[in-house]
Amino acid sequence: MDDPAPVPPPADARRSFLAKLMAMVGGGLATLTPVAAGVWMTLDPLRRKSSAASFLPITKVESVPDDGLPRQFPVIADRTDAWTGFEAEPIGAVYLRREQGSDTIEAFSATCPHAGCFIELDKRDRCFRCPCHNSAFTLDGGIVSPSPSPRTMDALECEVRDGRVAVKWENYYSGIAEKVARP
Amino acid sequence: MSDAPAPRTRRGPLAKLADFFDDRTGYRAVVHEALYERVPGGARWRYVWGSTLVFAFVTQMITGLVLWSSYSASAQTAWESVYFIQHEMAGGWLVRGIHHVMAQAMVVLLALHLMQVVIDGAYRAPREVNFWLGLILMKLVLGMALTGYLLPWDQKGYWATRVATNLAGLVPLIGPSLQQLVVGGPDYGHHTLTRFFALHAGFLPGTLIAFLVVHLTLFRKHGLCAKQPITKPDCMFWPDQVLKDVVAMLAVLAVVLGVILLPAVRAMVEGRPIVPGELGAELGAPADPSQPYAAARPEWYFLFLFQFLKVFEGWGADGEFLGAIVVPGVLLGMMFLMPLVGRWKLGHRFNVLFTVAILVGAGLLTAMALREDYAAAWADREAYADVEQLIEETGNDPEKIAATLGNDEARIAEFQAKAHELEEIRRSEAFFAAVKQAEAEAHRAVELAGRPERIPPGGALELIRTDPLSQGPILFAQHCSSCHAHVDPAAPEAAELMAASSAANLSRFGSAAWARGLLDPELVAGPAYFGNTAHAEGDMVSYVTNDMTDRDSWSEEQIEAVAVALAAEAAVVDDEPLDPAIVEQGRALMADEERCGSCHHAGDNETENGYAPDLAGWAGREWLIGIITDPNHERFYPETNDRMPSFGVAEEGGVPALSATQIGLLADWLRGEWYRGE
């Protein structure tokens, strides 16, 4: 097919400014509507709150030997993940520790305050170690220097009632000097 | 144009069809534009990197779409669908393997392409914008690598992603919100997967295609940035440069396939069977937030960032912020400034040095990370025996150590240096152990998923949480190991572990070998049995050491018969074959009210439970569940229980220490009852 003969462009009409404006506004609105709806939905996770931050039963006092060596216990709680509800699921882990002859129990979150890895107990050297970036902590959660961790291990509120240990389970932001609980 | 369409006479039907479409689309000009690009100075190998990247990306799209068609992004189906792809679908291991290894090849090719562009000065005017586009494309590729790592929802991807998203939380002001948006809520779960998948397979590649089109268009607009000085005659892109590009693509593909198939070749050479599911990409155990994963490492090309976080030891929160956000941000910002820096007289040299420095720095950090993790592989452990002994003897007390070393500063410094090295080696050993354990867990998960009953609707995690082999050791460590040992008596560390325990060694409890030990006067009062308990002074120890050593009342055959009969009551898995005649003889001796039956209820004797544990069904599943639930029950030790807690009994208003399911898992694990693959 041959190209058609060139046709001169139409003269710029007087109302062309208005037409341009309307085309831009209309086109913008048409595109922005799905974008805005999409952003609205994408931001949904911001209004979700963690179901945590309540006292959860962990174990009996006798299960924490009074030798000053921490023991790891799973934290069991009902949990929802978007549309799925889990009944009595392990949702994390805590270390419980009891000094000799003492009835008070210290509780630490097993989550490393540096970057969120799972802290392990080194029984031989009697300290906590994070396997990721080499943070080490003393048995009472203090920092072993030099350490990349910005703060000590996160102690959790711990209650002993009728021989049972309950811990206020919270998640904290990692990588910052202050211990700030996640909402 | 020199190659204008030929006169339209006597053209065949195919040519006519081509003319028809060309008239209406102008495709010939497009193809011509694409292929007949002038390459100043002729085709060169150094120009192939961009094409290999396009090839790698196309490979990723093809394999990615196929994987997509079999993948299901949710916390109960992601691992499961990837398991199915990897271990059961025809060719699944190959497609996933190519996708996995090609992603790594792409990172290498990116580095090579960047090097070539910087060294050739191809970022200078008028190609600045295209250079920036290239940097954006690089970020997009790295973003796809990061998001793809999570999608199998295995322990490795899960824990690596936790770290990566926690670092996102460090961004000033918006960090916490950004993290929550990426994670899809306050906790990791379905929406972490759906979001990462949407990023990995939709948003990032879509954006990448858009930028790639502009990148290539601009590349064509400016033409190839030729290596100076030009010494050879020019040539056309097609076919000379394309041929070189294709050879390079095939080389990349060969490397990728080589990485995937090398283990198969090795297996063939060693005469082992080839398991396709074990080729290509790894699949770890399913993600479990309650189970530690000490082998957590990012993919190798992010190891330098991982190692970089360790560099800032002792810097507190600033260190992590610097290492994860500021320094990488500044370096990337400087790369964006390269075209501007390049205008300065020495700018090009600076840019080349800068790029080389970044790549060498990243290489060094990667090497450091690997050296730390694998230090134990080449360390001479014996050279540290004295240091280790000194630490142990002094309890690592600096004053005591200094005193032992005669307060000699040189010796103390030497000791400290060696102690530091020793700690690195120990960490590396811990890493090796963690990798080994992770492999065992992964293998078990795959074995369970392959059972004829298939994976339950709750997902693979449910399989593992109801698997005695997986849960037994964990529950035992948590609830039993503070008193009981569980170690093969023949193992080198057995003596030490048993001496440290305060109750019987439960390894192979219920087997004929265990029962023989119980009736052995040399062993019954030792640490493997009652030695470290209140029963060391009890009637059983006294009976075995006094009455049963009297050969007039107990012959060796009779003792052996009782041991075998006990093992027959227990009937643990994989015990030695038991002779039924001997079992019968032993049962009669056990029930005999002049012998065992004087204290124990056994068989059909009249002895009532209460004084000594019931031997009917001894160490069987029900018996074990009973004693773990409540050792104070009259079948076990109502009067003489030493210290064993009643794990299955709840105090008023409370919950028991162990649920019935957990006690069942422990009993099954102690008895060796778990699913064994074919």
- Give yes or no for B396 touching A (CB within 8 A): yes
Q: Which of A58, A89, A108, A118 is most worth mutating to test chain B (most B CB atoms within 10 A of its CB)?
A: A118
Residue A81 touches chain B, beta carbons under 8 Å: yes
Separation between Cα atoms, residue B188 and residue B174, nearest integer Å: 19
Please list every residue in chain A whose beta carbon sits closer than 8 Å to the beta carbon of residue B193.
none
Interface check for B427 against chain A (CB to CB < 8 A): the answer is yes
Q: Indicate if A143 and A68 belong to the same structural domain.
A: yes
Which residues does B175 contact at the CB level (< 8 Å), separation at least 6? B168, B169
Do A40 and A124 belong together in one domain? no
The total of structural domains in chain A comes to 2
> What CA–CA distances, in Å, run from A118 to A109, B158, B621?
9, 12, 34
pLDDT digits (tens, 9 = 90+) for B361-393: 999 999 999 999 999 888 888 888 888 888 888
Q: Which pLDDT belongs to residue B570?
A: 96
- pLDDT tens for residues B622-656? 999 999 999 999 999 998 898 898 999 887 666 78
The answer, yes or no, to whether residue A52 has pLDDT greater than 80, is: no
* Window B:468-507, CB contacts with A under 8 Å: 478-479, 482
Q: A150–B316: do the CB atoms touch at under 8 Å? A: yes
Task: State the pLDDT at residue B631.
Answer: 95
Do residue A57 and residue B295 have CB atoms under 8 angstroms apart? no
B219 compared with A88, residue with greater pLDDT: B219
pLDDT of residue A76 exceeding 90, the answer is: no
Give the residue from B166, B178, B288 with the most A CB atoms within 10 Å of its CB, the best one to mutate.
Answer: B166
Say if residue B504's pLDDT is above 80. yes
B582-602 confidence digits (pLDDT tens) = 999 999 999 999 999 999 999
Of these ranges, A147-156, B198-207, B215-224, B550-559, the one predicted with the greatest mean pLDDT is: B198-207
Does CATH number 1.20.810.10 belong to domain B24-296? yes
What length is written for chain B? 678
Q: Structural domain boundaries of chain B?
A: 24-296, 379-454, 466-670
Task: Place B2 in a pLDDT band, splitting at 50, 70 and 90.
Answer: very low
Interface with B, mutate which of A60, A95, A112 (most B CBs under 10 A): A60
**Burial label, A48 (beta-carbon count in 10 A; 0-12, 13-18, 19+):** middle
The first and second tokens of residue B473, run together, are 């050791």
Per-residue pLDDT tens over the stretch B507-531: 999 999 999 999 999 999 999 999 9
Q: Which residue has the higher pLDDT, B490 or B656?
A: B490
Provide the domain limits for residue A89: 55-168
CB within 8 A of B121, min separation 6: which ones? B225, B342, B348
Distance CA A128, CA A144 (A): 9
Pair (A38, A68) in one structural domain:
no
Per DSSP, chain A holds a count of helices (H) and strands (E) of 1, 10
Residue B363 sits at the chain A interface (C-beta within 8 Å): no
**Whether the predicted pLDDT of A9 surpasses 80:** no
- Terminal Cα-to-Cα distance of chain B (whole angstroms): 71
Q: Determine whether the interchain pair B186/A183 forms a contact, defined as Cβ–Cβ distance below 8 Å.
A: yes
A31, A107: one domain: no
Chain A residues lying within 8 Å of B651, measured CB to CB: 162-164
Give yes or no for residue B296 having a pLDDT over 90: no
Query: Do both A88 and A33 map to the same domain?
Result: no
B95 touches B67 (CB < 8 A): yes
Q: Would A10 be classed as within a structural domain?
A: no
What is d(CA B575, CA B674) in angstroms, rounded to the nearest whole number? Answer: 14
Of B401-405, B458-462, B541-545, the one with minimum mean pLDDT is B401-405
Count of CB atoms within 10 A of residue B145's CB?
A: 20
Query: CATH number of the domain that A78 lies in?
Result: 2.102.10.10
Q: Do A150 and B430 touch (CB under 8 A)?
A: no
Query: Which of B292, B317, B645 lies closest to A176 in CB terms?
Result: B317
A6 has a pLDDT exceeding 80: no
More confidently predicted of A148 and B582: B582
User: A172, exposed or middle or buried, with CB in 10 Å at 0-12, 13-18, 19+?
Assistant: middle
Same domain, yes or no, for A59 and A41? no
Please tell me which of the candidates A71, A133, A173 has its beta carbon nearest to residue B169.
A173
Residue pLDDT, tens place only, B98-145: 999 999 999 999 999 999 999 999 999 899 999 999 999 999 999 999
Choose the closest CB to A148 out of B186, B312, B478: B312
In a domain, A141, yes or no: yes
B564, B588 in Cβ contact below 8 A?
no
- Kindly indicate the confidence band of residue B1, based on its pLDDT and cuts at 50, 70 and 90: very low
- The pLDDT mean for chain B works out to 91
Residues in chain A within 8 Å Cβ distance of B425: none
The two beta strands, A127-129 and B484-485, are unpaired
Q: Are B642 and B648 in contact (CB under 8 A)?
A: no
User: Does A2 contact chain B (CB < 8 Å)?
Assistant: no
Say yes or no: A81 and A108 in one domain: yes
Same domain, A108 and A20: no
Residues 56-95 of B with CB under 8 A from A: 75-76
Residue A181 lies in a domain: no
Q: How far is CA A31 from CA A20, A23, A35, B90, B615, in A?
A: 16, 12, 7, 43, 80
> Model confidence at B447, in pLDDT bands (50, 70, 90)?
very high
Hey, which residues 595-614 in chain B have their CB within 8 Å of chain A?
Answer: none
Contacting residues of B for A129, CB less than 8 Å apart: 427, 430
Among residues B502, B495, B497, B547, which one has the least CA distance to residue B521?
B547
Q: Are residues A28 and A61 in the same domain?
A: no
Summarised one tens digit per residue, pLDDT across range A120-133 is 998 878 899 998 88
* Nearest residue, CB atoms, B296 vs list A79, A132, A176: A132
Among the partner residues A57, A71, A151, nearest to B655 by beta-carbon distance? A57
CA A14, A15, A19: angle at the middle one, nearest 5?
145
CA dihedral B89, B95, B100, B102 (to 10 degrees): 170
Q: Is the Cβ pair B296, A65 closer than 8 Å?
A: no
Of B222, B65, B71, B60, which Cα lies nearest the Cα of B144? B60
**Are A118 and B23 a contacting pair at CB < 8 A?**
no
From A92, which residue of chain B is nearest by alpha-carbon distance?
B290
| pLDDT of B59 strictly over 80 | yes
